[in-house]
Amino acid sequence: MREGRIERTTNETKIEVSLNLDGTGSYDVKTGIGFLDHMMEQLSRHSLIDLNVRAEGDLHIDFHHTTEDTGIAIGMAFAKALGDLKGIRRYASAYIPMDETLTRVALDISNRPYLIWKVDFSRDKLGDMDTELFKEWFQAFAQAAGITLHVENLYGENNHHIIESCFKALARALRDAVEIDPRRADAVPSTKGVLGGSL
């Protein structure tokens, strides 16, 4: 099993994450932010990555630190579980519709983190969560996980549908990208023999 566990403590947050890339999509997530928990549950279920998260943060200030640091910790655990990246398919993309909404995610598990974020919201909040924080989570996750990540909402009106389709599309793309390619199970998917830096 490809598993990763991270304990990350700062003056702002204390976060514990464990995940299994070869799981069944089971989850146990408690961040103190209801909407973020819901998105992490979607990420786990649709990627088939088992995910356990416990986060304590300075929610009396706002949700920023907890959201960002949760993305960092999950990304770190993800990278740890991948190890030397041998055998993975590396590239993947997914289109996810949700009622009137359609979102596309394309990614490269490259050790060259980068985020392209083309997602707009018409509301400042979903529940108690600021919609601007979703980009912060994706940026933190991509950076810590070493993923080139492109997220684009092609169209949609309902803000809940828009962000949920982003997380579900990320989940389905991750599911495909981390899968072991039986034709190259012992090789790093790069002509250089390693991933990271310029190809």
Q: Tell me the CATH number at 30.
A: 3.30.230.40
pLDDT higher than 90, residue 187 = no
Domain-located, residue 192 = no
Q: What is the mean pLDDT of residues 43-60?
A: 97
The pTM (predicted TM-score) of the whole model is 0.93
Residues 16, 1, 106, 123, Cα dihedral to 10°: -30
**Percent of the chain residues topping a pLDDT of 70:** 93
Average pLDDT, the chain: 94
Residue 15 lies in a domain: yes
Residue 41 pLDDT exceeds 50: yes
- Judged by average pLDDT, the poorest of 23-27, 115-119, 125-129, 173-177 is 125-129
Question: Taking 50 as the threshold, does the pLDDT of residue 1 lie above it?
Answer: yes
pLDDT band at 198 (very low <50, low <70, confident <90, very high): very low
Number of domains the chain is built from: 1
pLDDT score for 139: 98
Residue 199 lies in a domain: no
Residue 57 belongs to a domain: yes
- 32 assigned to some structural domain: yes
* 65 contact partners, CB below 8 Å, separation of at least 6: 10, 12, 13, 57, 58
Q: Is 190 a domain residue?
A: no
DSSP three-state, residue 162: helix
Whether 79 has a pLDDT exceeding 80, the answer reads: yes
* 175, pLDDT greater than 70: yes
In this prediction, residue 192 carries a pLDDT of: 60
In a domain, 172, yes or no: yes
3-state secondary structure (DSSP) of residue 63: coil
Residue 185 inside a domain? The answer is no
Kindly state the average pLDDT of the residues 41-48: 98
Residue 199: pLDDT band by 50, 70, 90 thresholds? very low
Q: Is 14 exposed, middle or buried (0-12, 13-18, 19+ CB in 10 A)?
A: middle
Q: What is the pLDDT of residue 112?
A: 95
Max Cα distance, the chain (Å) = 51
Task: Give residue 27's domain range.
Answer: 3-177
Structure confidence by residue, pLDDT tens digits, 105-143: 999 999 999 999 999 999 999 989 999 999 999 999 999
